[in-house]
């Protein structure tokens, strides 16, 4: 097994990023500032996480593992709700994001971890935390992108949706196309990842394991396992997010209730 | 065929209450300054806005039936027309009947094969009217139905509506065109702030 990258190698990689920033300055692209800041953030965040995980792995206390996963879910829910440009008014914004992210992540992670349990101790933080983390990240993306597409679509297609309602179509019929579009947008990332896996890109997990000295076939198997989880969690997350958001933005009299959006009128 | 549309103390936020009756074959014209809530009133009648008060057709309350059923009887045709499919034709359930009526208001059959965005505002406005007339609603709620039309086409649209009224359709008409209100309405509701 290799022991990963040395400090020297990390410094070489950092020089490349600084060079990118220099290129941006020279060509007036305006991305140097955010490139450098996010690179610095990434370094600090990952080093802290590495240290934190090292001590958590040493403790092997399932409650601490569970607590950490709960914190991660809370942070992801906050990210989804904060990133929406159009938000549901009141607590609903956080409720919808939180429900989509937490229910889909818990369901898929527990499912995955119990299947891992046949061969390994699934409460071991080395197993539970990376699986929950990668599943959570994908769930967060799906909910965030899907909700944005849904909210923007509801506002942009308002006349079309109300026209259908006025003609006596059910709310379900009236928002059908929009639901499809939002589901498509929210899952396209993971679908592309699956379709392109191995041909267009060597996926992250597999690359990481191969770099760390793992046999490529075993690395491929872990990647397959995770990819399938990600497909499932994207779908679950987007379905929950869309269903709850649409439930709040329509009512039992088949009306469009954009007045339930933040800062909306009528 | 529905005979009587009755509105009792319809109210939305601080607008209203409004009460009135519209009989089959008649038109109630609605006037008032911009922003007084004329469109809001039509949207309440179609139950597209949460509201107080009750509307009923032939003694059956709106709240007593599913909203889509109500809206097929009390049909709202908005001032801004909305489209959801790629061709105009896909927006109709009975394309034959629609094309038949289309000739009366200067819409050529080839327009049905186009994308709604390719039509002019006035063409879309008339296409939306045809859509609202499908399956003969008992009552039609019209919001500025000829705002984008010239005098000739306006007259054709009015003739089409008048024809449907002779067959028993009731109409609630919001219009800024005083002459149009006079030509079509048998009574006028003036809304004030």
Residues of B in Cβ contact (< 8 Å) with A165: 48, 67-68, 71
The mean predicted confidence, pLDDT, of chain A is 91
What average pLDDT score do residues A125-145 get?
92
**Does the pLDDT value for residue B59 go beyond 70?**
yes
B71-116 residue pLDDT tens: 999 999 999 999 999 999 999 999 998 998 999 999 999 999 999 9
What average pLDDT score do residues A162-168 get?
97
With CB atoms and an 8 Å threshold, state whether B71 touches A165: yes
What average pLDDT score do residues B41-63 get?
97
With CB atoms and an 8 Å threshold, state whether A266 touches B49: yes
Segment holding B42, helix H or strand E: helix B38-45
Angle, alpha carbons B5-B127-B47 (nearest 5°): 30
Residues 139-158 of A with CB under 8 A from B: 157-158
Q: Write out the two tokens for A199.
A: 């041909």
Residues of A in Cβ contact (< 8 Å) with B77: 166
Identify which of B71, B81, B83 has the shortest CB distance to residue A168: B71
Q: Mutate which of B82, B136, B139, B172 to test chain A, going by most A C-beta atoms within 10 A?
A: B82
Q: Which pLDDT band, with edges at 50, 70 and 90, does A84 fall under?
A: confident
Please tell me if residue A254 touches chain B, with a CB cutoff of 8 Å: yes
B21-30 residue pLDDT tens: 999 999 999 9
Identify which of B75, B78, B134 has the shortest CB distance to residue A159: B78
Q: Which pLDDT band, with edges at 50, 70 and 90, does A236 fall under?
A: very high
Q: Mutate which of A154, A156, A167 to test chain B, going by most B C-beta atoms within 10 A?
A: A167
The mean predicted confidence, pLDDT, of chain B is 95
With CB atoms and an 8 Å threshold, state whether A159 touches B81: yes
Chain B residue nearest residue A252, CA to CA: B67
Closest-CA distance of chain A to residue B53, Å? 15
B173-189 residue pLDDT tens: 999 999 999 999 999 99
**Does the pLDDT value for residue A119 go beyond 80?**
no
Q: Which residue has the higher pLDDT, B109 or A1?
A: B109
Identify which of B66, B78, B134 has the shortest CB distance to residue A162: B78
Please tell me if residue B59 touches chain A, with a CB cutoff of 8 Å: no
- pLDDT confidence of residue A3: 57
With CB atoms and an 8 Å threshold, state whether A160 touches B131: no
Q: Which pLDDT band, with edges at 50, 70 and 90, does A266 fall under?
A: very low
**Does the pLDDT value for residue B171 go beyond 90?**
yes
Q: Which pLDDT band, with edges at 50, 70 and 90, does A81 fall under?
A: very high
A24-47 residue pLDDT tens: 999 999 889 989 999 999 999 999
Q: How many CB atoms neighbour CB B151 within 10 A?
A: 8
A138-159 residue pLDDT tens: 999 999 999 999 999 999 999 9
Chain B residue nearest residue A158, CA to CA: B82
What average pLDDT score do residues A189-218 get?
87
With CB atoms and an 8 Å threshold, state whether B82 touches A157: yes
With CB atoms and an 8 Å threshold, state whether A161 touches B68: no
Judged by average pLDDT, the poorest of A58-72, A109-123, A224-238, B131-145 is A109-123
Please tell me if residue A265 touches chain B, with a CB cutoff of 8 Å: no
Closest-CA distance of chain A to residue B79, Å? 10
- pLDDT confidence of residue B193: 76
- pLDDT confidence of residue A23: 94
Rg (CA), chain A: 22
- pLDDT confidence of residue B135: 93
Chain A residue nearest residue B45, CA to CA: A166
Q: Which pLDDT band, with edges at 50, 70 and 90, does A1 fall under?
A: very low
With CB atoms and an 8 Å threshold, state whether B82 touches A255: no
B111-145 residue pLDDT tens: 999 999 999 999 999 999 999 999 999 999 999 99
Q: What single string gives the DSSP state of each residue in chain A?
A: ------HHHHHHHHHHHHHHHHHHHHHT-S-HHHHHHHHHHHHHHHHHHHHHHHHHHHH--HHHHHHHHHHHHHHHHHHHHHH-SS-BTTTHHHHHHHHHHHHHHHHHHHHHHHHHTTTS-TTSHHHHHHHHHHHHHHHHHHHHHHHHHHHHHHHHTHHHHHHHHHTT--HHHHHHHHHHHHHHHHHHHHHHHHHHBTTTB--HHHHHHHHTT--HHHHHHHHHHHHHHHHHHHHHHHHHHHHHHHHHHB-TTS-B-GGGBTT---
- pLDDT confidence of residue A264: 67
B5-22 residue pLDDT tens: 999 999 998 888 999 999
Beta bridge partners, B21, equal B6
Residues of A in Cβ contact (< 8 Å) with B68: 165, 168-170, 254
Please tell me if residue A255 touches chain B, with a CB cutoff of 8 Å: yes
- pLDDT confidence of residue A13: 92
- pLDDT confidence of residue B1: 77
């Amino acid at each position: 097994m290799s022991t990963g990258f040395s400090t020297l190698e990390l410094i070489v990689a950092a020089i490349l990023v600084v060079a990118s920033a220099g290129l941006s300055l020279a060509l007036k692209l305006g991305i140097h500032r955010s490139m450098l800041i996010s690179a610095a953030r990434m370094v600090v965040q990952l080093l802290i996480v590495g240290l934190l995980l090292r001590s958590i792995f040493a403790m092997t206390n399932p409650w601490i593992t569970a607590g950490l996963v709960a914190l991660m879910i809370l942070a992801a829910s906050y990210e989804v709700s904060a990133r929406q440009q159009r938000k549901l008014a009141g607590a609903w914004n956080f409720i919808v994001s939180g429900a989509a992210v937490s229910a889909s992540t818990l369901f898929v992670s527990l499912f995955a971890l119990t299947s891992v349990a046949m061969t390994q101790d699934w409460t071991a933080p080395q197993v539970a935390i990376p699986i929950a983390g990668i599943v959570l990240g994908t769930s967060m993306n799906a909910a965030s992108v899907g909700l944005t597409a849904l909210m923007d679509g509801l506002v942009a297609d308002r006349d079309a949706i109300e026209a259908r309602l006025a003609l006596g179509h059910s709310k379900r019929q009236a928002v059908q196309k929009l639901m499809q579009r939002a589901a498509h947008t929210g899952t396209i990332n993971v679908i592309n990842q699956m379709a392109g896996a191995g041909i267009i890109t060597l996926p992250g997990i597999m690359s990481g394991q191969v770099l760390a000295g793992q046999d490529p076939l075993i690395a491929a198997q872990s990647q397959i396992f995770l990819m399938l989880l990600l497909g499932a969690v994207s779908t679950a997350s987007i379905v929950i997010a869309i269903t709850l958001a649409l439930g709040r933005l329509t009512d039992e009299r088949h009306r469009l209730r954009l007045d339930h959006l933040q800062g909306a009128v009528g | 065929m529905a005979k009587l549309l009755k509105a009792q103390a319809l109210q939305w936020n601080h607008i209203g209450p409004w009460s009135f009756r519209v009989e089959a074959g008649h038109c109630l014209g609605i006037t008032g300054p911009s922003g007084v809530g004329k469109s809001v009133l039509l949207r309440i009648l179609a139950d597209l806005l949460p509201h107080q008060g009750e509307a009923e057709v032939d003694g059956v309350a709106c709240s007593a039936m599913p909203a889509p059923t109500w809206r097929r009887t009390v049909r709202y045709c908005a001032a801004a027309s909305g489209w959801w499919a790629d061709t105009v034709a896909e927006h109709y359930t009975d394309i034959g009947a629609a094309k038949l009526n289309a000739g009366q208001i200067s819409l050529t059959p080839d327009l049905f094969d186009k994308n709604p965005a390719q039509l002019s505002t006035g063409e879309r406005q008339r296409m939306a009217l045809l859509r609202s007339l499908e399956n003969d609603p008992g009552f039609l709620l019209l919001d500025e139905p000829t705002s984008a039309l010239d005098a000739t086409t306006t007259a054709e649209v009015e003739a089409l509506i008048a024809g449907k009224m002779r067959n028993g359709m009731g109409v609630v008409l919001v219009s800024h065109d005083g002459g149009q209100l006079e030509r079509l309405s048998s009574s006028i509701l003036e809304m004030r702030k």
